[in-house]
Structure formats: structure tokens, C-alpha cells
A and B are shown apart, each in its own frame.
Chain A
Amino acid sequence: MAHQAHSYHMVDPSPWPIFGAAAALLTTSGLIMWFHYSSSMLLALGLLSMLLVMLQWWRDVIRESTFQGHHTPTVQKGLRYGMILFITSEAFFFLGFFWAFFHSSLVPTPELGGQWPPMGVKPLNPMEVPLLNTAILLASGVTVTWAHHSITEGNRKQAIHALTLTVLLGLYFTALQAMEYHEAPFSIADSVYGSTFFVATGFHGLHVIIGSSFLTVCLLRLIKFHFTSDHHFGFEAAAWYWHFVDVIWLFLYMTIYWWGS
């Protein structure tokens, strides 16, 4: 049987990249059908196939690493670079929405009454639920770091407790934000204030849900003994993503919620 003379991972042929591309096609076409022709079947098909591809692709990565041992230090280094680059690209994504917010709020037009918040818009009080949400995410940053230390020290029970707490805090944030969205006295249609507020906080909320899901998968893997005290990159990637989500919230809170009120 031939053995490789290098430390890289030559993956088995896989159908997930092309199925993933097809799922993206279905999702984008589905959005068009939903927007312009009031039909949601294609969109549902797209989202379902996207979910199936993600589940199976990442399931395979777990098989290749934890069960087949292909993630050498060299491979892990590449994965670290990859995750850092991905998070950087997400930072630029949010930068665009912050740009839009400052563009409209620093020079408010006559249509808005020449002021920010615009005439007639009653902003949310930054010292109420938004402040609680800030405390929740900061606390979750502490608990995820506690979980990491517990993993490296081989303390299984504490690691499970700390990561569970982190996930619960994330869910609490999402529930509170959903309630705020429901109770807000303004909507996305309320001038550029509504647009910037809901698009920026909305994409952030989506990232909180993604981060919470990633952490939940890590919790399940932690319970199933997948991580060792010196090899647990999946958890580290989730923790980096979660800290990123926390930092974005801090910027949102300081600019849109506090300065912008």
C-alpha cells in the first residue's frame, strides 16, 4: 500500500463542493422567484440542500480528522490560516454596513429633518435591553475562554459546564433581540434609520445564530470525547468566531445604539 511522503491531506473525491454550488444556485434563484413571482418552493429547496451539504461536508471533515487522523500539525496550520482569513472577510462585510450608517447619520438630509435620529423616530434606549445584551455577550466571552482552559487542562466536567453556559448565553441574547425586534417602535421601512439599524443588527443576529450552532456542535463533540487537551482546533475556530461576533456587537452598541440615539 502506497504511503505519502508529505504531511498534507489529499482528500478523497467528494460530491459536496458541486452539490454546494448547486445549492447556492437554487437559493439565489429561489430568492428571485420569491421576490418577483411570489413562489417560495425553489427557495425552500435551496435552503434544504444547503443544509444537507453543510451537514455532510463538515461530518466528513470530522471523520477525516478525529477518526482517520489526517489533521497533522501542517494541516492544522492551514486550517488556522483559513479561519483567520474567513473571519477577516466577515469583518470587511460588516465594515460596509458601518460605512453606510455613518454616511447617513453624520450628514442627515433635509428629508430626515436634518437630524439624527430622524424626526419622528424614537430610538431604543441603549441603557435597557441593549445594555443587558452587551453584558450577556461579554460574559459568554469569559465562559468560552473558561471552557478552552478546561479543555487544555483535561478537566472534562468543567469544560462541558462552561461550554454549555456559553451556548445558553448565546440563546438568551438571540431571544432578547427577537423580542426587541418585535417591540421596536420603528421598522425597516422607517427611512434610512430603519434600513441601517435592521440590516446591521440583523446580519449580526444571523452571525450569533451561526456562532451558537458552531458552539453547540463543539459541545456535542466535547461530550463524545472528540477533543484532546492539545488537539481541539474545531473548538478554537468556534471560539475565535464567537469572539468576533462579540466584538461586532460592541461596535454596533457603541455606534448605532448609543452614539446614534
Chain B
Amino acid sequence: LRQISQRTISTASRRQLENRVPEKQKLFQEDNGLPVYLKGGAMDGLLYRVTMGLTVFGTGYVLYELMVASMPKKQK
């Protein structure tokens, strides 16, 4: 049974079980002046812009709804 459970893993999936922390350490310690929230690559910038878009739009919308809720509702 032990021989079956210790089957060889193919090279592609073996990379996923290896320690990739040293690579990450090199990437995030690179002297490129980038702040930590953008230092990981292009995806960081995209996520940042999406988050900013949602919160800025949302804040504006809250202020709009607040204005609407403060106005008297015209009855006919």
C-alpha cells in the first residue's frame, strides 16, 4: 500500500508542491519604488482600480440618495 501512496508526481504538478516563498521574497524585495499594494504585478493595479471605482461611485450614490431622501416627496 505504501508503494501506491508514494507514486511519482509529474513535473508540472510537482512545481505546485514546492516551496515558492523565495521567489516571492525576491519579487517583493525588488528595489523598484512600488508600494506593497501594487508590487505584485498587473493584477494588483486592476484590483485597486476596481475597488476604487466601486467605493468612489458608491459614495457618490449615497450622497445622491441622501439628497433625495431629504427632499419632501411631492404628492399629487
Which residues from chain A contact B54 at a C-beta distance below 8 Å?
Answer: 45, 48-49, 52
Decide if B20 is an interface residue (CB 8 Å cutoff).
yes
Q: How far is the CA of A226 from the CA of B23 in the complex (A)?
A: 12
| A60 and B37 contact, CB distance less than 8 A | yes
Q: How far is the CA of A66 from the CA of B19 in the complex (A)?
A: 13
Q: Distance in Å from the Cβ of B71 to the closest Cβ of chain A?
A: 14
| B61 and A12 contact, CB distance less than 8 A | no
Which residues from chain B contact A79 at a C-beta distance below 8 Å?
Answer: none
Neighbour of A12 across the interface among B25, B36, B47, B51, CB < 8 A: B36
Q: How far is the CA of A53 from the CA of B48 in the complex (A)?
A: 9
Q: How far is the CA of A64 from the CA of B35 in the complex (A)?
A: 10
Question: Taking each of A29, A53, A67, which has the highest tally of chain B beta carbons within 10 Å of its own beta carbon?
Answer: A67
Q: Distance in Å from the Cβ of B5 to the closest Cβ of chain A?
A: 12
A: number of interface residues (CB 8 Å) = 32
Which residues from chain A contact B21 at a C-beta distance below 8 Å?
Answer: 66-67, 224-226
Decide if A110 is an interface residue (CB 8 Å cutoff).
no
Main secondary structure of the interface of B (DSSP, over half): helix
- Which of the segments A20-28, A100-108, A211-219, A252-260 contacts the partner chain? A20-28
Nearest opposing residue in chain A for B18, CB measure: A225
Neighbour of B51 across the interface among A1, A49, A66, CB < 8 A: A49
Which residues from chain A contact B48 at a C-beta distance below 8 Å?
Answer: 15, 56
| B65 and A33 contact, CB distance less than 8 A | yes
Q: How far is the CA of A207 from the CA of B72 in the complex (A)?
A: 41
B: number of interface residues (CB 8 Å) = 29
| B58 and A42 contact, CB distance less than 8 A | yes
Binary B-proximity of A141-178 (CB < 8 A = 1, otherwise 0): 00000000000000000000000000000000000000
Q: How far is the CA of A64 from the CA of B36 in the complex (A)?
A: 7
The chain B residues found within 8 Å of chain A, CB to CB, are 19-21, 24-25, 27-29, 31, 35-37, 39-40, 47-48, 50-52, 54-59, 61-62, 65-66
Instruction: A1-B31, A19-B52 are known; give 8 further A-B pairs, CB within 8 A.
Output: A22-B55, A29-B65, A45-B61, A49-B51, A63-B28, A67-B21, A67-B24, A225-B20
A-B contact pairs, 29 of them (CB 8 A): A1-B31, A11-B36, A12-B37, A13-B35, A14-B35, A14-B37, A15-B52, A22-B55, A22-B56, A29-B65, A42-B58, A42-B61, A42-B62, A42-B65, A46-B58, A49-B55, A52-B50, A56-B51, A63-B24, A63-B28, A63-B39, A63-B40, A64-B36, A66-B21, A67-B21, A67-B24, A67-B25, A67-B28, A68-B28
